[in-house]
Amino acid sequence: MTVLESTTPESTDSLVARTSEFIREYVIPIERDVIVDGRIVDDKLRLELQREAKSVGVFGPLSPRRYGGLGLDTRAQARVLEAAGASLLGPLSMNCWAPDDGNIHLLEHAATDAQKIRYLAPLAAGDIRSSIAMTEPGPGAGSDPSMLRTTAVRSESGWTINGSKHFTTGAEGAAFTICVAVTEDGPTMFLVDQDNPGLHIGRRMPTLDHSVPGGHCEVEFVDCAVPSDAVLGEPGLGMQYAQVRLAPSRLVFCMNWLGLAVRAHHMAAEHINNRTAFGVPIAEHGMAQGLVADNAIDIAAARGVIRTAAESIDEFGAASSAARHDASIAKTFVSEAVWRVLDRAVQLHGGLGVCEDHLVARFLVEARAFRIYEGPSEVLRWSIARRVLRAHP
């Protein structure tokens, strides 16, 4: 289990304040360039943002201190990442966005010392990006990992991987990919360098969201030869390592997207306080007030379930049953609460809400996939119910 360094409330308060200032003063103006003017979110922009984050001391809330990060425990991450999430580009600028967030945690837990030097250190420092190839086209694995069809067979020099993946986030331009494949021992994770001739990055899939460098790609492993030391962890334990990665990754998404929902909520409140209809500010209309109140309730409740899950991860470990259960609850509730808040923010902006000049339209579109990736709400409800029912035979 990865032991996170504890963070005092005073130091967290200071870090949250610096993060909020960084997002407000530096990141949000660039966010408008992306949403309104069409600036491409690429590695040039990522490195520009991350250099600035490093200069003001807010870079790497998920990374261990020995790799140049802040070494925060999960409870402190919850507050800092909410502040970072106030902009679509905030998490990227601080190196706390998918898939690198989960891969940092996974490598810290499962990698050998040599693998940490080669892959984790530059990833945690923001010098490179990574991807993880698990999701497959039908009839391969999606929400059900037991349907995994990509295979890895032992060879004289190591392993040979064959299979198709898609929705491989960040694959275009990544330095390496973590591939999940079936072996004779069971599902196994492999570290595959991007220049491996057996790794083929296909088309960038045309998805709703556009704020991820490297996009979501189709990937092929064709007689992809990797050495024995490319195995991440132990052969056959890939699903166990996936569980170690999953709860923190789900919670990071919750923290980041909640930050964007909070910002949209504030933008909507300011808009209706300054826009008049039927002789009075819109804010004085009861139906508008109802939407504002529901947003405030959803935000408060989302913070509560995030805090509970963060406490479980810090106290029992990311792979514990308690952490996985609480993270599933948080992911289900927060993904739907964020959608409701953003949808109400669009509604409160009226016609301007569907114009990207006012940003909330893009926020809503970018957030839609949150209810699907890292476990669709329907699958998570199923797993939550099963845990509850097992406790009451």
The two domains 9-110 and 238-390 share their CATH topology (first three levels equal): no
Terminal alpha carbon distance of the chain: 30
**The overall pTM is greater than 0.85:** yes
Backbone torsions φ then ψ of 54, nearest 5 degrees: -65, -40
Distance (Å, rounded) from C-alpha 220 to C-alpha 324? 31
Average pLDDT over residues 185-212: 96
pLDDT digits (tens, 9 = 90+) for 337-383: 999 999 999 999 999 999 999 999 999 999 999 999 999 999 999 99
Q: How confident is the model at residue 317 (pLDDT cuts 50, 70, 90)?
A: very high
Q: Which fold does the domain 238-390 belong to in CATH? A: Butyryl-CoA Dehydrogenase, subunit A; domain 3 (1.20.140)
Q: How confident is the model at residue 8 (pLDDT cuts 50, 70, 90)?
A: low
Question: Mind giving me the DSSP string for 236-286?
Answer: T-HHHHHHHHHHHHHHHHHHHHHHHHHHHHHHHHHHHHS-EETTEEGGGSH
pLDDT at position 145 is 86
Average pLDDT over residues 44-61: 97
The burial class, CB within 10 Å (0-12 / 13-18 / 19+), for 343 is middle
Those residues whose C-beta lies under 8 Å from the C-beta of residue 15, and which sit 6 or more positions away, are 7, 58, 61, 70, 72, 76, 80
Q: What is the dihedral of CA 283, 285, 286, 287, to 10 degrees?
A: -90
pLDDT at position 143 is 87
Distance (Å, rounded) from C-alpha 363 to C-alpha 136? 27
pLDDT at position 10 is 60
Partners of residue 224 on adjacent β-strands: 161
Please check the confidence at residue 3 and state whether its pLDDT lies above 60. no
Query: The domain 130-232: what is its CATH number?
Result: 2.40.110.10
Q: Is 172 left (phi over 0), alpha (psi -120 to 50) or beta?
A: beta
Q: What is the 3-state secondary structure (H, E, C) of 279-321?
A: CEEHHHCHHHHHHHHHHHHHHHHHHHHHHHHHHHHHHHCCCCH
Average pLDDT over residues 271-276: 97
Please check the confidence at residue 389 and state whether its pLDDT lies above 90. yes
CB atoms within 10 A of CB 336: 15
Length of the chain counted residue by residue = 393
CATH class, domain 9-110, is: mainly alpha
Q: How confident is the model at residue 63 (pLDDT cuts 50, 70, 90)?
A: very high
Q: Are 273 and 339 in contact (CB under 8 A)?
A: no
Q: Are strands 158-169 and 176-183 parallel, antiparallel or unpaired?
A: unpaired
> Where are the strands (E) in the chain, listed by range?
130-133, 151-154, 158-169, 176-183, 186-193, 199-204, 216-227, 231-232, 276-277, 280-281
Q: Are 77 and 62 in contact (CB under 8 A)?
A: yes
pLDDT digits (tens, 9 = 90+) for 72-87: 999 999 999 999 999 9
Average pLDDT over residues 136-140: 94
Question: HSE of 392 in the Cβ direction (CA atoms, 13 Å)?
Answer: 4
Please check the confidence at residue 7 and state whether its pLDDT lies above 70. no
Partners of residue 199 on adjacent β-strands: 221
Distance (Å, rounded) from C-alpha 158 to C-alpha 152? 10
pLDDT digits (tens, 9 = 90+) for 238-264: 999 998 899 999 999 999 999 999 999
User: Where are the domains positioned within the chain?
Assistant: 9-110, 130-232, 238-390
Please check the confidence at residue 119 and state whether its pLDDT lies above 70. yes
Percent with pLDDT over 90 in the chain: 94
Q: How confident is the model at residue 9 (pLDDT cuts 50, 70, 90)?
A: low
Average pLDDT over residues 58-68: 95
pLDDT at position 88 is 97
Average pLDDT over residues 202-223: 95
